[in-house]
Amino acid sequence: MNQRKIIHVDCDCFYAAIEMRDDPSLAGKPLAVGGAADRRGVIATCNYEARAYGVRSAMASGHALKLCPGLLIVKPRMDAYKAVSREIQAIFRDYTELIEPLSLDEAYLDVSDSPHFAGSATRIAQDIRRRVSQELHITVSAGVAPNKFLAKIASDWKKPNGLFVITPDRVEAFVAALPVSKLHGVGKVTTDKLERLGIRTCAELCEWSKLGLVKEFGSFGERLWGLARGIDERVVQTDSRRQTVSVETTYDQDLADLPACLAQLPQLLDELARRMARLDASYRPDKPFVKVKFHDFTQTTLEQAGAGRDLDSYKRLLSAAFARGNKPVRLLGVGVRLHDLRGRHEQLELFAR
């Protein structure tokens, strides 16, 4: 099988970059895009001048202003960001149709069979970066590697405005030195557990057998075994389908206790029902879930297979989720996991012919 060539492209502080492009007076100043501090807003993104003060995405705007009193916070202009994203996607399509958007500002490209630049993924990535800069006047970083896991890590390696390439012959040495926290799907809880087991790098992870990791981490242990060796067989998905539908609200005043949270459920579920009604018949609702973000920004999500999607079922889920923190709440969310029925329908059509 031919060696895959995957590019991960990630725009540098995308929203903030567009704001600075469209209003040059903002350039060079600490800038964030997000909600107003007096409305309990949250930072969506910020430029590197703001990051130097410790400002980060998902941070409360009020806290960001304490870290950086001179911070300029502008309201998001989603229509402008979506328009630029479409222009970037159009550039991608000049090189390949195998594109998997992850958000407005990042995507995977499979250029394994691209005829451009004699099939050189590195030169394709260089040209994409050049065109985005010249045509759209923002910068993107890119990573080139034999799979999605490594390409995404590579795109972050020389940010901002950088390009990093991991060739097949460099994969083993590169991955061996990686902290396990860099592995796809490894969050804080898994990182902490790995560290308790004396595993901090992929080289140390490689000392474990697949069976040993499965015993410790269940089915994810097999995934860890592969990633520690630079193995990732996920393909670039060109047809991204919904996995959930949800609605969430950040409250101007913290919800003090569980009864205050439960009182918000009917309104949230009404909006969820409206969003569910807009789905087509290729989706089937599955597990309900709730999300709770407490006043200190810790958060939890709880779902339950087989549970109903009625008010009482969500009340039980919310009560259990609230008990995990038992403190004032700033954000509540409700949602439903979805089954995609379209793949099954297409398979039945295939065999019916």
Feature table: binding site for Mg(2+) = 10, 105
CA distances (Å), 248 to each of 54, 273, 331, in order? 27, 13, 7
What does the block give as tokens for 45?
């993104």
Exposure class string for 234-272: b at 16+ Cβ within 10 A, else e:
eebeeeeeeeebbbbebeeeebeebebbbebbeebbeeb
Q: Give the amino acid at 46.
A: C
**Active-site hit among 49, 100, 106, 271:** 106
Cβ(162)–Cβ(114) under 8 Å?
no
Strands 163-165 and 140-145: parallel
Q: Clarify whether 106 is annotated catalytic.
A: yes
User: Among 33, 8, 4, which residue's Cα sits nearest to residue 18?
Assistant: 33
User: Among 47, 44, 26, 27, which residue's Cα sits nearest to residue 35?
Assistant: 44
Which residues are annotated binding-site positions? 10, 105
CA distances (Å), 100 to each of 93, 96, 104, 221, 283, in order? 11, 11, 11, 26, 20
Return d(Cα 59, Cα 50) in angstroms, integer.
Answer: 12
In sequence order, what are the beta bridge partners of 335?
Answer: 246, 289
Cβ(42)–Cβ(60) under 8 Å?
yes
Where in the sequence numbering do the catalytic residues fall?
A: 106
